[in-house]
Amino acid sequence: MSSTITEKILARAAGRDEVQAGDIIEAKIDLALANDITAPLAIAEFDKAGFTKVWDPARIALVPDHFAPNKDIKAAGQAVKMREFARKHEIVNYFEVGRMGIEHVLLPDTGMIAPGDVVIGADSHTCTYGAVAAFSSGVGSTDFAAAMAWGHVWLRVPETFKFVYSGKPGPWVTGKDLMLHTIGLIGVDGALYQAMEFAGEAIETLSMDERFTMCNMAIEAGGKSGIVGFDEKTTQYLQSRPEGSRARTVGQVFASDRDAEYVKVLEIDASAVQPTVSKPHLPSNTAVAAELGDITIDQVVIGSCTNGRLNDLRQAASILAGKKVHPDVRCIILPGTQDVCLEAIADGTMQTLIEAGCAFSTPTCGACLGGHMGVLADGERAVATTNRNFVGRMGHPGAEVYLASPYVAAASALAGHVATPEEVGAVKGGSR
C-alpha cells in the first residue's frame, strides 16, 4: 500500500508495517521536550501519579526559555522546579541559562533530531522539526508527563494535507510569507488534526531556516504536524550538526509515495505571493504588506522560534544596515540560540543591528507571548516575526500585533509603520 512520509514514520515508531490515517497507535518516542512553563505542571503530574523514574534521561529535553532568564520571583520558582527535577533524574539535556536557546531553534541545531524521528513536546510549536523530515507534534503537560514515564505516546494517525508550491518566490518573499499566505487561504483551523506536507519547486529553493519557519507555523492552521521531504539541503544541514550528534549518526529517510493518499492537495503559485502580514488578531487575517496603508507602530520584534535563526537576522540586517530605527520605534532582536548570537557576532550581523538602534536580547521566547523583554502597553502596536497575534498575546489585550517576515519587520522598524523593503529603498543583494 502507498503511504505518506508521515504514515511511514509513524508506522516505524509503532512497530508496524504500515498505518493508515485514523488508526490509533502507540508510538515510540525518540525525544520528548518541555519548557519552564509546561514542565512544572508535568512534573507535578508525574510525581502525583507516583512515577519514580524517567524512561530514558537522554531522550528528554528540558529548556528554560519562556520566562528565562527569570522574569520575576514566581517564574524563578517554576524554573527551580524544573532544574531540581532535571538534577534528580539526571536529565542529560537540561539546558541552563547561558547555554540554552529557544527550544525549537536549539534542539535541531544541537543535532538532537534525526530524520524519521518521532518527537513530542509540551509546546505547541514542536511541529517545527518536520523541516528535517521528522514527525513532531505539540502536546500538553500531562501527555509529556506520560511520555517521560513511558517513552511512548498515543496518537491518531493524521490525514495529510499536501501543499504544492510552484514557481519561484519573489525577491522579498520568504518561507514566512508563503506560510502566512497559506494560513490566510485555509484559516486557523484549515488543517485541524492534519499533517501539513509542504512540497513543490518553491520549497526546494527555500533555506533550511525558512523550512523550519513554515513547519513551525503548522499549528497556526490547526495542524498536528508540518513536514518537508528530505533533500540535499536537509543532508547539508544535518551534516553540519555537532560531531557524534543524533542528527549525524542515526536517522531513517522516508518519502511519500507518488500515489500516497492525501485528504486534500492545494496548489499555490509561489511566484504570485507578495510579502504578507497577518493583521490583528488572527494569523489567518492576512493582507499584502504593500497594500496596508499607513499603520504606525511602536515596536518591532525580530526573532523567536519562528524566525530567530541566523538567516532571519541576516535578512533583517540587510535592510537595517547603515540606517537607523525610526525614533518612535523600539526594535528588539530575540535570537534563537547562543550559537546564533556567536555567528551573528562573527559575521557582523549583531553589530549592524545594534548600530541601527536595535536592542539585542539573550535567547528567550520573552516578548512573543507577552512574558517579558518587550511587553506591549494598551493601545500599542507591533510588527513581529513571531507566530501568533491573538488578543493579549504580546501584552495588554488592547495592544495589536502584525505578523511578518524579517524583511518586512526590519523595513517597518525603519519606516515607523508597516512597510515593505522596497518602500525603504532596500536592494536585494544577499541570497537565501
Partner 1 sequence: MIFEGTVHKYGRDVDTDVIIPARYLNTNDPQELASHAMEDIDAEFVDRVQPGDIIVAEENFGCGSSREHAPVAIKVSGVSVVVASSFARIFYRNAINTGLPIVVCPAAATDAKMGDRLKVDLAAGTVENLTQGKTYDSEAFPPFMQELIDRGGLLEYVKTRIGEGSGS
Residue written as cell 494569523? 283
**Least Å distance between CB 193 and partner 1?**
5
List beta partners, residue 402: 383
Burial class (CB in 10 A: 0-12, 13-18, 19+), 117: buried
Q: What is the DSSP letter of 53?
A: S
Q: Which is nearer to partner 1, 84 or 189 (CB)?
A: 189
Report the C-alpha gap between 97 and 80 in whole angstroms: 12
**Least Å distance between CB 283 and partner 1?**
9
**Least Å distance between CB 34 and partner 1?**
9
Q: Which is nearer to partner 1, 71 or 432 (CB)?
A: 71
**Least Å distance between CB 155 and partner 1?**
10
Q: Which is nearer to partner 1, 38 or 234 (CB)?
A: 38
Residues 6+ away with beta carbon under 8 Å from 74: none
Report the C-alpha gap between 366 and 224 in whole angstroms: 24
Q: Which is nearer to partner 1, 124 or 271 (CB)?
A: 124
Q: Which is nearer to partner 1, 352 or 387 (CB)?
A: 387
Q: Answer whether 330's CB lies under 8 Å from 357's CB.
A: no
**Least Å distance between CB 213 and partner 1?**
18
Grid coordinates of 302: 525580530
DSSP string, 72-104: SHHHHHHHHHHHHHHHHTT-TEE--TTT---HH
Q: Which is nearer to partner 1, 21 or 317 (CB)?
A: 21
Report the C-alpha gap between 272 and 181 in whole angstroms: 11
**Least Å distance between CB 292 and partner 1?**
22
Q: Which is nearer to partner 1, 123 or 312 (CB)?
A: 123
Angle CA 301–369–421, to nearest 5:
20
**Least Å distance between CB 348 and partner 1?**
34
Residues that bind partner 1 (CB under 8 A): 24, 26, 28, 37-38, 40-41, 44-45, 49-51, 55, 66-67, 71-72, 74-75, 77-78, 121-124, 126, 138-143, 145-146, 149-152, 154, 156, 188-189, 192-193, 219, 222, 224, 282, 369-371, 375, 388, 390-393, 395, 397
Q: Answer whether 256's CB lies under 8 Å from 16's CB.
A: no
Chain length of the chain = 432
Q: Which is nearer to partner 1, 243 or 378 (CB)?
A: 378
Q: How far is CA 101 from CA 69, 81, 109, 125, 339, in A?
A: 11, 19, 10, 14, 9
**Least Å distance between CB 400 and partner 1?**
13
